[in-house]
Amino acid sequence: MLLKTDVFSPHIYASEGSVTLKGKKIPFRTVCEDNMFYGDDGTPEASLFSYSYFRSDVEDPSDRPVLFCFNGGPGSSSTMVHVGFLGPYRVKYGDVDGAGVPLPPYEACVNEDCLLDIADIVIMDAIGTGYGRLLDESKKDKYYGTEADAEASITFVQKWLTKYGRWKSPKYIVGESYGCTRGAKMIGMGSFGTDRSYGVAFDGAVFIGNTVSTFRDRNGSAFISPVTLVPTVAAINWYHNHPTDQTCEEFAREAAAWADSEYLPAIYKGEALTAKERERIIKKLMYYTGASRKYLEDRDLLIEPVEIRSEIAAKKGLHVGRLDARVTRPLYEPLKVESDQGRGMSNDPSAAKYDPLFEGVLLGTVAPMLGIESDRNFVSSQHLWKTWNRELKGRTTAECLSDTMRNFPNMRVLFMNGWYDLATTTGAMWYMLDHSHLPKDRVSVKYYETGHMVYLGEDKVKAVNEDIREFLMNK
């Protein structure tokens, strides 16, 4: 339960501003507001807080795209996508550490790559995050779960389209991390829900750090998971140890091809491997992943995403980050502390640096510019994932996406993944794409030499926004 710092009452905040994009001054207005959910007796139960950016010099916005944007968690506010790359004001990626993460003091700047010239932008803070609240803790099962969260989100979209008269507008989802799961479920519910349909047809989606899956649970397959992990670990090994003169992508794709052709059959054979075969697999794994012989032998050749973080750069005495493996911290001593799944593994050096950066810019600069004056405590994230109800009533997220794309032949999807992301790996995305029956001619994939947040850095934020711009304009 969140500590309460005020007596909750719904608020609406409005502001006006302008930003120069592509050499043209773009005026806009904003509406930031609580979107309330009520019980059958009319009692308020929850609020989903939204930030809506409207280009204000458009007479008829009916053919103007609307982007519904959010992060994931579950339990994360959408601060990162908001001030990381989407909003008209964003984090200034100035002085950075060795991995490109900005150093304090955290500054904001005009986002010259913002998409507001071609689309209106709606940032959604899920219930219980940001300024949003779950007002009745006894109702948490009604909102805190894969199905429940997606239903609340699509209900918000439906209400927003009616309130602002935008049913005719092209509609897109921009989801990051668990936001991909939420987005795929929303897309499925929009056309054909489990308990009801909402009549919301999306024209497309941008999924950053993909979590759309063909599996009904997050564990996937004991055979598949180690194999899909190989290309990402290889990319991270390349970054820290440079075992080859190839590019990062060339090395990662070579590792992936080897994992498909040799590693997967070896895992299947298990103890039936000859000593010679086993030795060949160990040497290749050491080459591609940077893992030690002891690690691989102790785990019967099965690499996994937690303890591997202390293996890749162990020769340098470093533990790599989960969200962005370019970011490191020193290994604990003795090393066994790292494997307790507690102090060592939960201390992600990349995650530790992100929240202060984005929250500082949002609350210190952007919120006042948006006219937000609130004594409500801002919740950058809470660990809802620990007790999240992940049960799927109907289709998997991949099935939701595939079925809807087949029903709407103009719907397109863009996936964006970072090579150094150990939270949502490129291999897992490739597996999903190869087993989901998505119409491949309407699916695009972009890769970046970044971590989970593909937009970190001045060059990356430009590249990501330009790629989304081209996607929206169908170039």
pLDDT of residue 167: 97
pLDDT of residue 223: 72
pTM of the complete model: 0.94
- The per-residue pLDDT for range 345-378, each reduced to its tens digit, is 467 777 767 778 899 999 999 999 999 998 888 9
DSSP secondary structure, 199-229, as one string: ----SEEEEES----SSSSTT--TTHHHHHH
DSSP secondary structure, 258-270, as one string: HIIIIIHHHHHHG
Our CA angle for 188, 79, 21, nearest 5°, is 90
Alpha helices in 338-456 (DSSP H): 349-361, 367-369, 397-407, 426-435
- The per-residue pLDDT for range 199-224, each reduced to its tens digit, is 999 999 999 999 999 987 655 566 78
Bridge partners for 48 per DSSP: 35
In degrees and rounded to multiples of 5, residue 330 shows phi and psi of: -65, 145
3-state secondary structure of 464: helix
Rounded CA separation 35/13 (Å): 12
CB 453 within 8 A of CB 177: no
pLDDT of residue 333: 65
Segments of the chain scoring below 50 in pLDDT: 334, 341-345
Domains defined for the chain, CATH in brackets: 12-217+354-472 (3.40.50.1820), 224-350 (no CATH)
pLDDT of residue 327: 87
Provide the residue count of the chain: 475
**Minimal CA–CA distance to 71: which of 178, 187, 155, 189?**
178
